């Protein structure tokens, strides 16, 4: 993240245009080493080497690793640019990037910084790609008007390449149109509307024309054009609503033309579009027909059946010891003896009925298919409360997500007290008045209860961890009815530092310890390891009887994060997943997230969200919804509740998918399915829309020629001969293919 200083103004529009009064400099004097004297304008740099600031120093004969280098740019700033400007509050400095970290001085005064330098409080941190745009208040900026100014860059590089790069030094006054902003909002009604709101934050009246077109990116056709003349005073907005088709990808393109100068600003936006067809009103089973439980453990399972309520559930050949709730389809009871128990469940409503042959497999293995549910972290962060958990759980039922198998309701960090009870048992904080009540309520609804702790003294959020109290904690979890434990390394880092031999055994130790106590409890507790993939956890997760293990650090709602975690980091992990053992690339980042009380829409574009869910189903990853379900919209429900997409995720073969074609920005990932077919995610990871000739790659898959092909998101059969697909930037075509 770009750091801004007190004297810098925030919130400049990203549409800054370089007008006529722009000063651009590409050359600098350069010296390796580090000396604060070099920030001063009076220093004589005439003997320094000349360098181009837009190319790394490695390109220009300097290789400096774990070292500093300084650049000094001399520039005359004419007073006239300020005098002629319409906006006299700020002056803008758009500067080259600093690889890996550094500071910028204007005439000896620090005006900007990126990353962390080795001597800094937080230590070294690379921000090699951070943009550097600084808005200085004109009356405070240390500028020598009509004379020489020195911009000095102190750059630290950890590893090649290094130094300044990317753009030249650009200095300019803001243009009138910098005050213009665009916002887009979507409204659902008889007609679906997208409203483009044009705002003006500058104290000049903006006069111009706005043109909004709706286009179909697939064909390039313009579907509608709306024009409007605007005269916008400071802090005023004008709204232009346009209709669009929500069942496919539409682009809303806006162009604002400034009347006096003719300058144009443009922005495109893709509104959310829903591919998942509506579910039939009649009952439909949306689950894998198998469930694993250990002998004597309570069976907690809610049949995921979509369709209109009320619905009646009945069974035939239900094994003795099990019960089926006729209203909500929750299976209960227990079975003491190992074996496969197969019976039939029927769901019936006003529109029809459906039956499923279902097997409860009583044995050593639970989580025969990857877990589905909800976790509080990506939405509420440390502001989670029992009330918030219950509100998402209730919404999982009311909005039909439980009918697709989302059943774990997991409380992440921040339920714990700061101190234990006098007898050493774990205490809850006042946001969680009744843990047992919460567990009972979830179970009555056929849902499962998840909790979070750390093997260390404190959790990442600074709450109590389980160290030296593992047995007591496991017993508390049992008494509350916990079905899932996320056990997060975090505070254990301090313990680990004391270890002499930091070998794999040292990483395994805390997880083995908790496993012992979890397994002593008379219930099944899904064991979810969270230690970010250290010491190749996928190689020994099974040894500590873990059901899943996080493979990376935390995900956030950006393309870069999802791409890196999902595509780059999981590509080689497929051999380690199987029924009961899953790689966990972290929780879902769709819907309203925020890691705090301030929730916002996920920053992923609609296509990035289709890619995210597609990939997680191919990866057989834990599918834990990370948003506030009480505020979920129908786009997000469509993403999470597509029965054909989810059927891949829950496929009982339990194989994790892998990349099979990598061709530039195009990647095809495949997952082998139990019926002999393959789920294929055809991903466009590039920043341009593409038309992909899938036929070109069929041979490379080495499964023979195509027998059938189905579009999983749209739930439509596809031709096996016409194989050209439009795939938007960061988007996917998700197909199920069988071969002959
Ligand atoms: C992190 C973990 C997150 C979340 C958080 C809670 O270590 O990776 O998923 O659990 O701690 O403090």
Ligand 1 centroid from CA 380, angstroms: 12
| Nearest C-alpha neighbor of 198 from the set 215, 181, 211, 222 | 181
554 close to ligand 1 (CB < 6 Angstrom): yes
Summarize pLDDT for 506-563 with one digit per residue, the tens: 999 999 999 999 999 999 999 999 999 999 999 999 999 999 999 999 999 999 999 9
Q: Return the best residue to mutate from 485, 529, 530, 552 for the ligand 1 pocket (most ligand atoms within 8 A of CB).
A: 530
Q: Which atom of ligand 1 is nearest to the CA of 459?
A: 12
Instruction: Compute the distance between CA of residue 640 and CA of residue 623 in angstroms, rounded to an integer.
Output: 9
Which residue minimizes the CA distance to atom 8 of ligand 1? 554
Ligand 1 centroid from CA 551, angstroms: 13
Summarize pLDDT for 172-231 with one digit per residue, the tens: 998 888 889 999 999 988 889 999 999 999 888 999 999 999 999 999 999 999 999 999
Q: Report how far apart, in Å, the C-alpha atoms of 159 and of each of 69, 100, 114 are.
A: 13, 8, 16
Which residue minimizes the CA distance to atom 3 of ligand 1? 554
| Residue 8's pLDDT band (cuts 50, 70, 90) | very low
| CATH code for the structural domain at 372-649 | 3.20.20.70
> Hey, what's the torsion of the CAs at 609, 611, 613, 617, to 10 degrees?
180
Instruction: Compute the distance between CA of residue 48 and CA of residue 54 in angstroms, rounded to an integer.
Output: 18
Summarize pLDDT for 87-111 with one digit per residue, the tens: 888 999 999 999 999 999 999 999 9
Q: What is the mean pLDDT of residues 585-602?
A: 97
Superfamily the domain 659-739 falls into = Golgi alpha-mannosidase II (2.60.40.1180)
460 close to ligand 1 (CB < 6 Angstrom): yes
Backbone φ and ψ of 368, nearest 5°: -65, -25
- pLDDT for 86 equals 79
Let me know if the fold of 16-174 is the same as that of 284-362.
Answer: no
Q: Which atom of ligand 1 is nearest to the CA of 550?
A: 8
Ligand 1 centroid from CA 530, angstroms: 8
565 close to ligand 1 (CB < 6 Angstrom): no
Question: Residue 8 gets which letter from DSSP?
Answer: B
Summarize pLDDT for 267-287 with one digit per residue, the tens: 999 999 999 999 999 999 999
Q: How long is the chain?
A: 740
Q: What is the mean pLDDT of residues 427-456?
A: 98
Class of the 16-174 domain?
mainly beta
Q: Which residues are catalytic?
A: 488, 554
637 token code pair? 């429900």
DSSP characters over 204-258: S-EEEEEEEEEEETTTTEEEEEEEEEEEE-TT-EEEEEEE--TTS--EEEEEEEE
Sheet (strand 408-410) strand order: 582-584, 548-550, 526-530, 484-488, 448-453, 408-410, 372-375, 623-625
Q: What is the mean pLDDT of residues 600-604?
A: 96
| CATH code for the structural domain at 177-269 | 2.60.40.10
Is pTM beyond 0.85? Reply is: no
| Nearest C-alpha neighbor of 345 from the set 366, 362, 359, 363 | 359
- Of 646 and 59, the one with more pLDDT: 646
Superfamily the domain 284-362 falls into = Immunoglobulins (2.60.40.10)
Instruction: Compute the distance between CA of residue 710 and CA of residue 699 in angstroms, rounded to an integer.
Output: 18
Query: Can you name the residues that pair with 547 across neighbouring β-strands?
Result: none
Yes or no: say if 657 and 421 are a contact pair by the CB < 8 Å rule.
no
461 close to ligand 1 (CB < 6 Angstrom): yes
Q: What is the mean pLDDT of residues 479-501?
A: 93
Instruction: Compute the distance between CA of residue 528 and CA of residue 515 in angstroms, rounded to an integer.
Output: 10
Ligand 1 centroid from CA 308, angstroms: 37
584 close to ligand 1 (CB < 6 Angstrom): no
Helix, strand, or coil (residue 355)? strand
416 close to ligand 1 (CB < 6 Angstrom): no
- pLDDT for 647 equals 98
- pLDDT for 189 equals 85
Q: What distance lies between CA 327 and its chain's CA centroid?
A: 36
Summarize pLDDT for 453-474 with one digit per residue, the tens: 999 999 999 999 999 999 999 9
Which residue minimizes the CA distance to atom 5 of ligand 1? 460
Cβ-Cβ contacts under 8 Å for 148 (sequence gap 6 or more): 41, 74, 75, 76
Residue tagged 């219930």 (tokens)? 523
Whether the pLDDT of residue 16 is over 60: the answer is no
412 close to ligand 1 (CB < 6 Angstrom): yes
CA-based torsion, 315, 316, 318, 320: positive or negative: positive
The strand ranges marked E within 337-407 are: 339-349, 352-362, 372-375
Average pLDDT of every residue of the chain = 94
Summarize pLDDT for 606-661 with one digit per residue, the tens: 999 999 999 999 999 999 999 999 999 999 999 999 999 999 999 999 999 999 99
Ligand 1 centroid from CA 625, angstroms: 15
Residue tagged 């990126």 (tokens)? 114
Instruction: Compute the distance between CA of residue 490 and CA of residue 494 in angstroms, rounded to an integer.
Output: 8
Whether the pLDDT of residue 1 is over 60: the answer is no
Domain layout of the chain by residue ranges? 16-174, 177-269, 284-362, 372-649, 659-739
């Amino acid at each position: 993240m770009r750091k801004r200083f007190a004297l810098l103004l925030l919130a400049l529009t990203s549409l800054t245009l370089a007008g006529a009064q722009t000063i651009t400099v590409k050359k600098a004097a350069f010296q390796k080493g580090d000396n604060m004297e070099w920030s001063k304008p009076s220093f004589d740099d005439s003997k320094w080497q000349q360098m181009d600031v837009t190319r790394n120093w490695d390109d220009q004969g300097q290789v400096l690793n774990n070292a500093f280098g300084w650049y000094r740019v001399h520039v005359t700033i004419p007073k006239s640019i300020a005098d002629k400007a319409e906006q006299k509050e700020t002056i803008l400095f758009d500067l080259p990037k600093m690889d890996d970290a550094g500071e910028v001085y204007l005439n000896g005064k620090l005006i900007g910084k990126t990353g962390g330098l080795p001597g800094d409080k937080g230590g070294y941190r690379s921000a090699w790609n951070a943009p550097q745009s600084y808005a200085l208040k004109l009356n405070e900026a240390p500028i020598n008007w009509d004379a020489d100014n020195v911009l000095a860059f102190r750059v630290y590089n950890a590893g090649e390449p290094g130094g300044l790069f990317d753009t030249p030094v650009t200095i300019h006054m803001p243009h009138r149109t910098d005050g213009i902003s665009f916002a887009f909002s979507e409204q659902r009604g008889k007609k679906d509307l997208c409203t483009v709101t044009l705002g003006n934050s500058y104290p000049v009246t903006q006069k111009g024309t706005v043109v909004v077109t709706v286009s179909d990116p697939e064909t390039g056709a313009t579907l509608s054009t709306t024009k409007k003349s605007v005269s916008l005073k400071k802090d005023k907005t004008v709204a232009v609503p346009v209709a669009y088709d929500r069942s496919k990808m539409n682009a809303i393109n806006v162009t604002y033309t400034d009347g006096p100068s003719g300058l144009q600003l443009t922005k495109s936006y893709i509104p959310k579009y829903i591919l998942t067809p509506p579910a039939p009103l009649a009952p439909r089973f949306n689950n894998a027909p198998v469930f694993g439980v250990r002998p004597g453990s309570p069976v907690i399972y809610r049949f995921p059946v979509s369709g209109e309520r009320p619905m009646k559930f009945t069974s035939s050949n239900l094994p003795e010891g099990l019960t089926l709730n006729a209203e909500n389809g929750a299976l209960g009871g227990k079975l003491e003896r190992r074996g496969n128990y197969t019976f039939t469940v029927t769901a019936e409503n006003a529109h029809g009925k459906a039956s499923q042959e279902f097997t409860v497999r009583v044995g050593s293995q639970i989580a025969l298919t990857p877990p589905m549910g909800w976790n509080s972290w990506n939405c509420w962060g440390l502001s989670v409360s029992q009330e918030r958990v219950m509100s998402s759980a209730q919404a999982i039922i009311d909005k039909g997500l439980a009918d697709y198998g989302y059943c774990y309701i997991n409380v992440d960090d921040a339920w714990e007290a700061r101190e234990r009870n006098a007898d050493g048992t774990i205490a809850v904080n006042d946001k969680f008045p009744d843990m047992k009540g919460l567990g009972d309520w979830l179970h009555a609804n056929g849902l499962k209860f998840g909790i979070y702790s750390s093997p260390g003294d404190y959790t990442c959020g600074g709450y109590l961890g389980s160290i030296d109290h593992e047995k007591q904690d496991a017993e508390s979890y049992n008494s509350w009815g916990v079905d899932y434990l996320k056990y997060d390394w975090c505070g254990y880092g301090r313990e680990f530092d004391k270890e002499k031999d930091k070998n794999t055994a040292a990483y395994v130790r805390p997880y083995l310890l908790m496993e012992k106590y979890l397994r002593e409890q008379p219930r099944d507790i899904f064991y979810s390891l969270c230690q970010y993939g250290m010491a190749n956890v996928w190689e020994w997760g099974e040894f500590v009887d873990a059901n899943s293990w996080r493979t990376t650090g935390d995900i956030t709602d950006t393309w870069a994060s999802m791409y890196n975690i999902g595509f780059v980091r999981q590509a080689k992990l497929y051999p380690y997943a199987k029924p009961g053992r899953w790689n966990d690339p972290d929780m879902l980042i769709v819907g309203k997230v925020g890691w705090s009380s301030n929730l916002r829409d996920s920053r992923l574009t609609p296509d990035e969200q289709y890619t995210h869910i597609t990939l997680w189903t191919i990866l057989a990853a834990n599918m834990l919804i990370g948003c506030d379900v009480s505020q979920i919209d129908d786009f997000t429900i469509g993403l999470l509740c597509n029965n054909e997409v989810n059927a891949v995720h829950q496929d009982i073969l339990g194989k994790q998918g892998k990349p099979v074609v990598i061709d530039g920005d195009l990647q095809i990932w495949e997952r082998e399915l139990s019926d002999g077919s393959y789920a294929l995610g055809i991903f466009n990871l590039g920043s341009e829309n593409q038309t992909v000739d899938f036929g070109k790659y069929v041979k490379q898959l080495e499964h023979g020629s195509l027998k059938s092909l189905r579009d999983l998101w749209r739930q439509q059969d596809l031709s096996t001969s016409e194989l050209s697909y439009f795939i938007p930037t960061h988007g996917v075509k998700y197909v199920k293919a069988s071969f002959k």
